Structure 1
Amino acid sequence: MKIGYTKISGQGELDLLLAGAADKLSAAGKRCMGIVQINSDREDCHRCDMDVQVLSGGPKIRISQDLGKESKGCRLNPEAMAEAIAGVEQRMTDGYDVFLLNKFGKQEAEGKGFRELLGEAAASGAVVFVGTNGLNERAFIEFSGGVAEFVEPDERKIMDWIQTPAE
């Protein structure tokens, strides 16, 4: 079982890092599963729209909801996230080498979200790699049974870690 993670204080940077890694892994012939996040700026709001790309070859799904320009609450759309989870679950039967998750977040820390699929991916022998933040890092390490390896938030280091066979 090979499980790794990285973290960056700025979620936008982390999203770009993992989306870039997914593109390079696919170009190198690795079959990727999971989701990466792709944000798009909005002129009418100080916050971006949050979209996820279901790997590999799945749809792009808007997971944020518009709560208004001055909103400060959680914008995650639970129905859209459920759609992304279902999309990944349907594709997992096709086989894959690497399972990427843009963020092991609050939902996963609470036992929901992508948590079950992460467990299935790890049990299948695929390389599992996630992004996380300081709030949920401990929960991810506990989820991994303490075997998750931290990888510096550098695309080359992440690519090397993913492509190095497990010991």
Structure 2
Amino acid sequence: MNIAYTLAPGRGDTDLVLNTVADQLITRGYKPCGTVQINTERSDAGPCDMDVKVLPDGPAIRISQTLGRASRGCRLDPNALEKAVGLVTGHFASGADCLIINKFGKHEAEGRGFRQIIAEAVMKETPVLVGLNILNAQAFMEFSEGLGEELPPRVDSLCDWLETRIRSFSGEADRRYAQEYRG
């Protein structure tokens, strides 16, 4: 299966790694689709602001809500997340070499968010890389039927995995095209 996940130990580390992976793929001429998360510290010492950048070239969408310093609830803005999902779905339909999703989070675990586009990419044999946290690991394992490959949170390893699968998929598509149209 062409789906893998990575999990970095520090707060925000997975976001930084996936952001760098996406940048390197773009620099190498690939067309990734999906989202990477950008966390911005706040001057009021509250929790960071969370934005997702829609790949390959934007826009950035604020997915966190400012609920106040004493708030303990989930800060995710579900409407903003669904806006990002819609943009990614549109970009994916116009062609992508791979799908990178910053996090298989609570919404995906509950059957919403990026879950449908991840499933579509897997069905189309497009390589998929997702960030994962331990809270949603079981839901991801069930979703991927245990076939998701765990990769170390290292930029080189993740780029190698994606590039190998992109080339493999492209080569297979080229072979199918040649066989179909050469007669």
TM-score band, normalised by shorter chain: over 0.9
Structure 1 residue matching 2:119: 3-state secondary structure: helix
Q: Give the partner amino acid of 1:53.
A: K
Distance 1:39 1:66 in 2: 14
1:44 shift after superposition: 1.0
Q: Give the partner amino acid of 1:20.
A: T
Q: Give the partner amino acid of 1:107.
A: H
Q: Which runs of 5+ in 1 are unaligned?
A: none
| Equivalence for 1:105 | 105
1:72 shift after superposition: 2.2
Structure 2 residue matching 1:164: 3-state secondary structure: helix
Deviations 1:77-129 (A, max 9, x none): 01111111111111112100110001001110111110001001111221100
Deviations 1:56-81 (A, max 9, x none): 22310000000012322210001111
Q: Give the partner amino acid of 2:60.
A: K
Structure 2 residue matching 1:135: 3-state secondary structure: helix
| Equivalence for 2:29 | 29
| Percent of aligned pairs with the same amino acid | 47
| Equivalence for 2:68 | 68
Distance 1:92 1:144 in 2: 20
Q: Calculate the aligned-residue CA RMSD, in Å.
A: 1.4
Displaced runs of 4+ in structure 1, greater than 6 A? none
1:11 shift after superposition: 4.0
| Equivalence for 1:152 | 152
Distance 1:160 1:141 in 2: 23
Do structure 1's residue 9 and structure 2's residue 9 form an aligned pair?
yes
Structure 2 residue matching 1:100: 3-state secondary structure: strand
Distance 1:97 1:145 in 2: 23
Residues 8 and 14 in structure 1, CA contact (< 8 A), matched pair in contact too: yes
1:30 shift after superposition: 1.2
Q: Which runs of 5+ in 2 are unaligned?
A: 170-183
| Equivalence for 2:43 | 43
Deviations 1:14-63 (A, max 9, x none): 10110110000111111101100001111113311000000122310000
| Equivalence for 1:132 | 132
The structure that is helix-richer by fraction is: 2
User: What's the TM-score once normalised by structure 2's chain length?
Assistant: 0.86
Paired residue total: 167
| Equivalence for 1:115 | 115
Q: Give the partner amino acid of 2:86.
A: A
| Equivalence for 2:143 | 143
Distance 1:156 1:17 in 2: 10
